[in-house]
């Protein structure tokens, strides 16, 4: 094995490049993974476009990417459950393990998390990474490393479904049919929700939602969304709504579309982080708002859902870019959202 590896770095807003880095040596409780696929997330695009998300500010050169799948090439001395050659999905956030949230099992709320591609922690648009073995999940034979890279966004979808109390026999609506909207829809279906409607204003994304199992889709640019949902539910409304767009209009549509006493799960951040909510209607309907921050304890169930055929995870991918094409990969993902639903970078050459 060479001592150095290639890494793609963000050199400034809208500018990518490459550097050579020393291949890391894993600690006793880590494994070294040769990365094969890394998904491009909305947060990667946001950092690329603006250089920051809230208080997290990129200081170039910075490595983006936090959705990795690959193969173990070196195993630390204390690692027993993984071996060289195992294909793995990597959960990108390492937490402290001893704060009150970690002890309660809500480790995604840990304040001391080190998360790939969240400044100042570098991401994984690179050829190798050393990572805590406990956060590397072995993939079954029938699950590819491409699918392994997509377990990360799927985990968000399952967490959203779980936060909403999704169960057999329900009817639900998902606002937004980007990557997170699609995986939320598929997670709802996998957990037994009978009918899942998807709302968006981009026709190609709605077509993708139908392809992946949506019961019906609604183009919010062409009709009144709430009226259509009421038609689809015999004027009853849905039992559960998941909002992934971070949009004021769709958040309020969710309040109108759900039955009294229902759950609304808010996943999308939006551009400003602030929205005006029709609170009087929410109070009258006694809806419960739940929110999502990443996920917890989800990877094993998400991998099993893919392995068992309940979820067509490859189906969300519309574009695969080569590692040598990282500038174009980022530019296209940002500029062509009408056609690109999910981009993945193939690291191996």
**CA-to-CA distance for 248 and 55, rounded, in angstroms?**
23
Q: Is 15's pLDDT higher than 90?
A: yes
- Give residue 54's pLDDT: 85
- Tokens 């479904």 label which residue? 161
Q: Which residues contact 223 (CB under 8 A, 6 or more apart)?
A: none
**CA-to-CA distance for 216 and 185, rounded, in angstroms?**
11
- Give residue 2's pLDDT: 77
Q: So what's the architecture of 4-138+318-346 in CATH?
A: Alpha-Beta Complex (3.90)
Q: Which residues contact 18 (CB under 8 A, 6 or more apart)?
A: 6, 7, 8, 9, 326
- Give residue 273's pLDDT: 76
Q: Which residues contact 296 (CB under 8 A, 6 or more apart)?
A: 105, 106, 107, 108, 159
Torsion of CA 193, 305, 242, 172, to 10 degrees: -10
Q: For residue range 107-126, what is the model confidence (pLDDT) as tens digits?
A: 999 999 999 999 999 999 99
Beta strands in the chain (DSSP E): 4-12, 15-22, 30-39, 52-53, 56-57, 67-75, 87-90, 93-94, 114-115, 128-132, 136-138, 171-175, 195-200, 216-219, 238-243, 258-266, 288-291, 319-322, 343-346
- Give residue 271's pLDDT: 75
User: Is residue 151 classed exposed, middle or buried when 0-12, 13-18 and 19+ CB atoms within 10 A define those classes?
Assistant: buried
Structure tokens belonging to residue 294: 């990443």
**CA-to-CA distance for 200 and 108, rounded, in angstroms?**
29
pLDDT band at 270 (very low <50, low <70, confident <90, very high): confident
In the chain, pLDDT over 70 holds for what percent of residues? 100
- Give residue 109's pLDDT: 98
- DSSP-derived secondary structure for 149-167: HHHHHHHHHHHHHHHTT--
Q: How many CB atoms lie within 10 A of CB 348?
A: 13
Q: For residue range 101-111, what is the model confidence (pLDDT) as tens digits?
A: 999 999 999 99
Q: For residue range 86-101, what is the model confidence (pLDDT) as tens digits?
A: 999 999 999 999 999 9
Q: Is 349's pLDDT higher than 90?
A: no
**CA-to-CA distance for 115 and 126, rounded, in angstroms?**
15
Are the beta carbons of 90 and 149 closer than 8 angstroms?
A: no
Q: What is the mean pLDDT of the chain?
A: 97
In CATH terms, 157-291 corresponds, of 3.40.720.10, 3.40.50.11810, 3.40.50.720, 3.40.50.2000, to 3.40.50.720
Are the beta carbons of 152 and 39 closer than 8 angstroms?
A: yes
Q: Is 44's pLDDT higher than 90?
A: yes
Note the pTM of the prediction, 2 decimals: 0.96
DSSP secondary structure code for residue 201 in this structure: S
Are the beta carbons of 312 and 186 closer than 8 angstroms?
A: yes
Q: What are the extents of the domains in the chain?
A: 4-138+318-346, 157-291
Q: Which of 166-180, 195-209, 250-264, 271-285 is predicted least confidently? A: 271-285
Average pLDDT over residues 326-339: 96
């Amino acid at each position: 094995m060479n001592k150095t590896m290639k890494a793609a770095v963000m050199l400034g807003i809208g500018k990518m490049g490459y550097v050579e880095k020393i291949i890391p040596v894993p600690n006793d409780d880590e494994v070294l993974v040769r990365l094969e696929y890394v998904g491009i997330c909305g947060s990667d695009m946001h950092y690329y476009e603006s250089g920051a998300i809230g208080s997290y500010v990129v200081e170039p050169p910075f490595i983006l990417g936090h959705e990795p799948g690959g193969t173990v090439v070196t195993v630390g001395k204390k690692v027993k459950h993984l071996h060289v050659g195992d294909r793995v999905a990597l959960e990108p956030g390492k937490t402290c393990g001893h704060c009150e949230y970690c002890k309660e099992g809500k480790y995604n709320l840990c304040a001391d998390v080190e998360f790939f591609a969240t400044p100042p922690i570098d991401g994984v648009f690179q050829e190798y990474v050393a990572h805590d073995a406990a956060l590397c999940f072995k993939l079954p034979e029938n699950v590819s490393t491409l699918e392994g890279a997509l377990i990360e966004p799927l985990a968000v979808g399952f967490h959203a479904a779980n936060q909403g109390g999704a169960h057999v026999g329900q009817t639900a609506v998902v606002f937004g049919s980007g990557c997170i909207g699609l995986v939320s829809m598929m997670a709802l279906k996998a957990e037994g929700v009978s009918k899942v409607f998807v709302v968006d204003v981009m026709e190609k994304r709605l077509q993708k939602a139908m392809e992946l199992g949506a019961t019906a889709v609604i183009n919010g640019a062409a009709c009144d969304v709430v009226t259509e949902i009421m038609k689809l539910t015999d004027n009853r409304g849905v039992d559960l709504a998941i909002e992934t767009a971070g949009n004021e209009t769709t958040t309020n549509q969710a309040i109108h579309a759900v039955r009294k006493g229902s759950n609304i799960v808010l996943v999308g951040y939006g551009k400003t982080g602030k929205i005006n909510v029709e609170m009087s209607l929410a109070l009258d309907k006694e809806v419960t708002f739940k929110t999502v921050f990443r996920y917890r304890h989800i990877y094993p169930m998400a991998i099993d859902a893919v392995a068992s055929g309940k979820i067509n995870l490859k189906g969300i991918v519309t574009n695969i870019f080569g590692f040598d094409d990282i500038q174009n990969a980022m530019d296209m993902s940002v500029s062509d959202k009408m056609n690109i639903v999910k981009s993945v970078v193939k690291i191996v050459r």
